[in-house]
């Protein structure tokens, strides 16, 4: 049996559901394919821009969201750096921490937002339909645009050095901006993450502790908007004719569709697709997410259980970790991000894991032992900052996304242009995944 | 010829000049020759005594010279050759279409003909052959399409052309311009020697490592080059790359350009946001409505004009670069002729040592961290074997470029020694026992070339990704919105190697503006 849709979204995260619901509300026929086996490992926070909230009328679902309180980096020797959504609040926090750069903060944030060229570059990388040429509007615009483009294609470290003086602050920004994509600060294109990080839609929100989860609300919103769900594994994506793609499912069912959207590279990799060509896709690395249940409650780090934390000694460690991951090793000084779930569990995440391991005999897949080693190292990293943490761990659950399955590292590339698959779109890791996915489907459907 | 006036207290002021070009490297010579041919009374000023910039002949041992700066040409602008009649002025090819022999860590070798399309068609492997053909066809098409973009002149309208590109080509261009070289090659070719070789080509002389974003464009840029009508080829000019500079000089002289060596420029005169001439280091002035600068952007805009006059965004763009990587040149005078067949068989080719993928990635990481990598890509030629006119019977020259090396402003003796040893160890991988035959050697790092030309060392560092270069070239060629000032220095050039496109575009922009201004007046 073949069903026909305008748009097929593959994935089960907030960005996938938001994009599907918005598309369905604009009148498109939409299907969502989500994997059969799902673990509830996702972070509790997400970006949820106001325009998406309003378009989906999320207030009607009894959902209430709160902004995450702060972004905190736990440095060595008890030093912390804290930044907030508001510029003034951040300036005050930085002044309190004795950072001279608080005077420059407002200008710095403005400059990073002004890296418009970065947005063009990301849009180009997310090769959307009728957007194949967007890569080459890169050089349109005046000298200022080209200067910004030059900066955005450069490294994050160079951009930070250009504006800021305080090493701990630079480490903090690099850790939070690059964390989701697992990039090193010295890599070309890593500066892109900065403009994205300071984008107005990128500040994270999390559902109110007592209310329904954002994901389940979005799922309901999808169903209410007429999105059809297929809880099946994907077996093949093939091109049919000049305009359509056929998605085959595990039980032999097929879906004929105009566009396929993977809202995250993780979803694409799970389905065996190569990820986006965008620098933010963090080629060659895997992401480990772990949920830690504690034996007894402990006070949150920095007395704040609504913040997102990074554990990092110095900005240079990001590049070292990145190189270790590309080398097929688990980095010694693994940069990790963590937050507190509503029930007091800690969710730890790192995008600096290797996609495959390399030893004397060549490349090999992740094993159970590797997963354990990764879990151990993540706990160790937290223990370096939180006193008596290791002894307080009761149970852990770890998931690795983006691990390569064959005996060599996966090929992460853009849509298979050679086969004319330009209507299969894969989003890179983004700070504002929901906003980007919704804008993307808007463009796709308008391009019809 | 020119009017010389003496004004009390103002030093010597020279007038009646239409255009001044600052810097007599290949781009400066090109710009001057174009302006001269258009009938403009042009003066070319060079601070040093040598004409030609980084490309010049140096003595290695008594009676034996090598060409510093470049040893092959691959991206020399064909329009410059045609417009300036460089063939008539002495450019000829000793080897027009060099074959390349690739050497690998495991001792394997791979030979590719200089005509890559033919080489792909003749590739002797059922799986790789057709894939290679498809790769060459796609990349050549994309490269030819991008060519105007690599000239980066203000008049280039690559945008329009790109918008008109067929959909499949546009998607491919998008992918090529953003993706790491490793990904593009993985998408096209099965694993093997050919892929390793091409991966090296993509990383060669660039600061963008082949596993990092935007790196594939390095190869696209190289293959946008055309030598004697053959796309993607490499050539060895009769007499070496210096022959191109000599021909450019002759072309400039034939166009009645007044070339003045040892005449440094202290500052560029700006009057009402318009270039009005230059002040010489000796104190005199030369006045002209067109000034073309071929030096480093920092020197031209920050020192010759001054930060106070220049837009702050523009300043940021041209001063932001902090290079980390560079290539090193090693020239060896060898005693006698190679004895082993392996070396002798390949001496009339371009020789490339291509380290394996993982080693290459580590090499970039090491060099960036300031360490000398143990594995280096090497591109070597035996100029004497290529060029029968200069070839000696008893002595042979080997010129090699090694990449990637850490960029040092001023390397000490120990560092130089380490670099030299590492380059030699990598050369030994394809030319065994060469060390025993070395009679004289010259290691030329970025800092050495800078000392010779008087430019800052970072001018000779490895250029960043092509996208970054194109963006920067767009900024630099705006010359900070100073009317009558045109820039064709390092920041306006795209790709590594002798190109002359920036000089041509700067001169064209100057001529276009002058004509428009003339009509308006």
CA distance A183 to A26: 36
Looking at mean pLDDT, say which of A258-262, B161-165, B306-310, B501-505 comes out highest. B501-505
Q: Does A165 contact chain B (CB < 8 Å)? A: no
* Per-residue pLDDT reduced to its tens digit, A21-32: 999 999 999 999
Q: Which tops the pLDDT comparison, A226 or A267?
A: A226
Q: Do B178 and A135 touch (CB under 8 A)?
A: yes
pLDDT band at A271 (very low <50, low <70, confident <90, very high): low
Q: Which contiguous run of DSSP H or E holds residue A326? A: helix A316-326
Residue A125 has pLDDT above 70, yes or no: no
Residue B153: its pLDDT value, please?
A: 57
Residue A413: its pLDDT value, please?
A: 37
CA distance A282 to A412: 9
Q: Do A132 and B214 touch (CB under 8 A)?
A: no
Q: Do B465 and A188 touch (CB under 8 A)?
A: yes
* Per-residue pLDDT reduced to its tens digit, B448-459: 999 888 888 988
Token pair belonging to B516: 């428009």
Work out the minimum CA distance from B203 to partner chain A, whole angstroms. Answer: 13
* Per-residue pLDDT reduced to its tens digit, A220-243: 999 999 999 998 877 777 777 777
Q: What is the mean pLDDT of chain A?
A: 82
Q: Do B187 and A418 touch (CB under 8 A)?
A: yes
DSSP 8-state class, residue B308: G
Residue B91: its pLDDT value, please?
A: 92
Q: Do A143 and B368 touch (CB under 8 A)?
A: no
* Per-residue pLDDT reduced to its tens digit, A343-355: 888 999 999 999 8
User: Of 3.30.479.30, 3.30.2290.10, 3.50.50.60, 1.10.287.90, which CATH number belongs to A2-64+207-277+412-446?
Assistant: 3.50.50.60
Give the mean model confidence (pLDDT) for residues A266-271.
68
* Per-residue pLDDT reduced to its tens digit, A62-77: 888 888 889 999 999 8
Q: Which residue of B has its CA nearest to A139?
A: B471
Closest partner residue to A188 among B173, B187, B208, by Cβ? B208
Closest partner residue to B475 among A147, A283, A327, by Cβ? A147
Q: Does A121 contact chain B (CB < 8 Å)? A: yes
Residue B9 has pLDDT above 50, yes or no: no
Closest partner residue to A323 among B170, B365, B467, by Cβ? B365
Work out the minimum CA distance from A40 to partner chain B, whole angstroms. Answer: 32
Q: Does A154 contact chain B (CB < 8 Å)? A: yes
Burial (CB < 10 A; 0-12, 13-18, 19+), residue B516, is exposed
User: Which residues in B lie closer than 8 A to residue A418 (C-beta atoms)?
Assistant: 134, 187-188
CA distance A58 to A219: 11
Residue B10: its pLDDT value, please?
A: 47
* Per-residue pLDDT reduced to its tens digit, B173-191: 878 888 889 888 988 888 8
Comparing CA positions, the residue from A268, A283, A264, A277 lying closest to residue A237 is A268
User: Torsion-angle region of residue A356: left (phi > 0), alpha (psi -120 to 50) or beta?
Assistant: beta
CATH architecture of the domain with residue range B3-55+243-320+458-520: 3-Layer(bba) Sandwich (3.50)
Residue A1: its pLDDT value, please?
A: 64
Closest partner residue to A189 among B207, B214, B362, by Cβ? B214
Q: Where are the domains of chain A?
A: 2-64+207-277+412-446, 98-122+131-202, 284-401
Q: Does A147 contact chain B (CB < 8 Å)? A: yes
Residue B267: its pLDDT value, please?
A: 94
Token pair belonging to B73: 């040409």
Q: Which of B467, B473, B481 to probe by mutation at the A interface, max A CB count within 10 Å?
A: B467
Give the mean model confidence (pLDDT) for residues B56-82.
90
Q: Report whether B399 contacts B383 (CB < 8 A).
A: yes
DSSP 8-state class, residue B235: B
Q: Give the CATH number of domain B324-406+409-444.
A: 3.30.70
Q: Report whether A250 contacts A390 (CB < 8 A).
A: no
Q: Does A149 contact chain B (CB < 8 Å)? A: yes
Least confident of A203-207, B99-103, B323-327, B403-407: A203-207
Q: Which contiguous run of DSSP H or E holds residue B290? A: strand B290-293
Peptide bond into B404 cis (omega under 30): yes
CA distance A408 to A403: 11
Dihedral sign (CA B224, B227, B228, B232): negative
Residue B396 has pLDDT above 80, yes or no: yes
Q: Does A407 contact chain B (CB < 8 Å)? A: no
- CB atoms closer than 10 angstroms to residue B166: 12
User: Which residues in B lie closer than 8 A to residue A125 (C-beta atoms)?
Assistant: 174, 178
Q: Where are the domains of chain B?
A: 3-55+243-320+458-520, 120-223, 324-406+409-444
ipTM of this model?
0.83
Residue B4: its pLDDT value, please?
A: 42
* Per-residue pLDDT reduced to its tens digit, B428-473: 998 888 888 899 999 999 999 998 888 889 889 999 988 888 888 8
Residue B314 has pLDDT above 90, yes or no: no
Q: What is the mean pLDDT of chain B?
A: 88
Q: Which of B139, B174, B215 to probe by mutation at the A interface, max A CB count within 10 Å?
A: B174
CA distance B477 to B472: 8
* Per-residue pLDDT reduced to its tens digit, A397-409: 998 887 776 544 4
Mark A97-117 as b/e (b = at least 16 C-beta within 10 Å).
bebebbebbeebbebbbebeb
Q: Do B212 and A187 touch (CB under 8 A)?
A: yes
* Per-residue pLDDT reduced to its tens digit, A44-68: 677 888 888 889 998 888 888 888 8
Residue A114: its pLDDT value, please?
A: 74
Q: CB under 8 Å to A288, separation ≥6 — which residues?
A: A349, A350, A353, A371, A374, A375, A378, A398, A399, A400, A401
Give the largest Cα separation in chain A, rounded.
Answer: 66
Residue A41: its pLDDT value, please?
A: 57
- Could you tell me how many CB contacts below 8 A there are between chain A and chain B? 160
pLDDT band at B275 (very low <50, low <70, confident <90, very high): very high
Window 273-292 of A, Cβ < 8 Å to B: 274, 277-279, 283-284
């Amino acid at each position: 049996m073949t069903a026909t849709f305008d748009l097929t979204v593959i994935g089960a995260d907030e960005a996938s559901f938001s994009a599907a619901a918005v598309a369905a509300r604009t009148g498109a026929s939409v299907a969502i394919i989500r994997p059969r086996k799902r673990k509830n490992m996702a972070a509790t926070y997400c970006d949820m821009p106001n325009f998406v909230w309003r378009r989906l009328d999320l207030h009607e679902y009894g959902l209430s969201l709160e902004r995450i309180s702060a972004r905190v980096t736990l440095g060595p020797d008890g030093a912390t750096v804290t930044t907030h959504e508001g510029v003034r609040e951040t300036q005050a926090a930085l002044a309190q921490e004795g950072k001279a750069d608080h005077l420059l903060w407002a200008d710095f944030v403005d400059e990073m937002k002004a890296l418009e060229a970065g947005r063009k570059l990301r849009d180009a990388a997310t090769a959307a339909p009728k957007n194949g040429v967007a890569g080459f509007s890169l050089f349109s615009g005046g000298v200022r645009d080209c200067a910004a483009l030059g900066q955005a294609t450069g490294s994050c470290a160079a951009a930070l050095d250009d504006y800021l003086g305080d090493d701990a602050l630079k480490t903090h920004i690099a850790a939070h901006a690059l964390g989701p994509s697992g990039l090193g600060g010295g890599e070309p294109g890593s500066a892109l993450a900065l403009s994205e990080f300071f984008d107005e839609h990128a500040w994270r929100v999390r559902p109110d502790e007592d209310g329904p989860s954002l994901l389940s609300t979005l799922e309901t919103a999808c169903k209410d908007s007429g999105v059809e769900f297929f809880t099946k594994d994907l077996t093949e994506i093939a091109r049919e004719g000049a305009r359509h793609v056929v998605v085959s499912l595990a039980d032999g069912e097929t879906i004929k569709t105009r566009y396929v959207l993977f809202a995250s590279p993780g979803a694409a990799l799970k389905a065996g697709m190569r990820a986006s060509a965008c620098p933010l896709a963090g080629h060659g690395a895997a992401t480990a997410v772990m949920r830690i249940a504690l034996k007894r409650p402990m006070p949150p780090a920095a007395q704040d259980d609504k913040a997102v934390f990074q554990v990092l000694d110095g900005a240079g460690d990001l590049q070292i970790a990145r190189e270790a991951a590309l080398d097929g090793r688990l980095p010694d000084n693994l940069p990790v991000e963590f937050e507190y779930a509503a029930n007091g569990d800690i969710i730890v995440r790192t995008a600096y894991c290797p996609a495959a391991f390399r030893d004397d005999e060549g490349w090999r897949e992740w094993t159970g032992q590797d997963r354990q080693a990764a879990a151990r190292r993540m706990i160790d990293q937290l223990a370096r900052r939180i006193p008596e943490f290791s002894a307080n761990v009761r149970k852990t659950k770890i998931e690795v996304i983006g691990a390569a399955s064959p005996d060599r590292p996966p090929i992460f590339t853009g849509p298979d242009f050679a086969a004319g698959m330009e209507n299969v779109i894969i989003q890179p890791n983004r700070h504002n995944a929901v906003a980007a996915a919704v804008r993307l489907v808007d463009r796709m459907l308008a391009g019809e | 010829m020119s009017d010389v006036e003496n004004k009390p207290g103002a030093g010597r002021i020279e007038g009646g000049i239409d255009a001044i070009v600052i810097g007599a490297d290949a781009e400066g010579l090109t710009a001057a020759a174009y302006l001269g041919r258009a009938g403009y009374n042009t003066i070319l000023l060079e601070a040093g005594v040598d004409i030609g910039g980084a490309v010049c002949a140096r003595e290695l041992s008594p009676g034996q010279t090598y060409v510093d700066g470049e040893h092959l040409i691959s991206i020399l602008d064909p329009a410059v050759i045609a417009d300036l009649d460089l063939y008539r002025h002495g450019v000829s090819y000793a080897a027009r279409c060099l074959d390349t022999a690739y050497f690998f860590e495991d001792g394997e070798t791979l030979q590719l003909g200089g005509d890559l399309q033919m080489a792909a068609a003749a590739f002797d492997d059922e799986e790789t052959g057709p894939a290679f053909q498809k790769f060459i066809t796609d990349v050549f098409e994309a490269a030819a399409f991008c060519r105007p973009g690599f000239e980066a002149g203000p008049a280039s309208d690559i945008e329009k052309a790109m918008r008109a590109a067929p959909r499949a080509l546009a998607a491919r261009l998008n992918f090529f311009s953003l993706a790491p070289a490793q990904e593009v090659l993985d998408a096209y070719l099965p694993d093997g020697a050919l892929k390793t070789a091409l991966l090296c080509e993509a990383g060669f002389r660039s600061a963008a490592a082949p596993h990092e974003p935007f790196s594939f464009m390095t190869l696209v840029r190289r293959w946008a080059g055309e030598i004697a009508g053959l796309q993607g080829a490499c050539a060895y000019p009769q007499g070496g790359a210096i022959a191109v500079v000599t021909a450019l000089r002759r072309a400039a002289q034939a166009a009645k350009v007044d070339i003045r060596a040892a005449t440094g420029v202290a500052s560029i005169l700006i009057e009402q946001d318009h270039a009005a001439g230059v002040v010489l280091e000796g104190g005199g002035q030369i006045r002209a409505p067109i000034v073309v600068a071929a030096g480093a952007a920092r020197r031209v805009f920050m020192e010759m004009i001054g930060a106070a006059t220049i837009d702050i965004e523009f300043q940021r763009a041209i001063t932001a670069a902090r290079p980390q990587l560079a290539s090193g040149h090693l020239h060896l005078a060898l005693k006698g002729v190679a004895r082993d067949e392996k070396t002798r068989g390949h001496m009339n080719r371009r020789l490339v040592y291509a380290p394996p993928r993982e080693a290459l990635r580590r090499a970039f990481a090491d060099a960036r961290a300031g360490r000398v990598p143990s594995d280096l890509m090497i591109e070597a030629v035996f100029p004497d074997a290529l060029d029968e006119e200069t070839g000696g019977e008893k002595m042979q020259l080997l010129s090699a470029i090694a990449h990637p090396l850490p960029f040092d402003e001023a390397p000490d003796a120990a560092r130089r020694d380490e670099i030299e040893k590492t380059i030699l160890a990598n050369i030994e991988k394809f030319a065994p026992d060469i060390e025993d035959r070395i009679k004289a050697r010259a290691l030329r790092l970025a800092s050495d070339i800078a000392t010779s030309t008087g430019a800052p060392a970072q001018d000779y560092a490895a250029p960043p990704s092509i996208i970054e270069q194109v963006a920067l070239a767009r900024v630099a060629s705006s010359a900070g919105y100073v009317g009558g000032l045109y820039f064709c220095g390092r920041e306006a050039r795209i790709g590594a190697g002798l190109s002359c496109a920036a000089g041509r575009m700067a001169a064209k922009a100057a001529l276009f503006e002058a004509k428009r201004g003339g009509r308006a007046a």
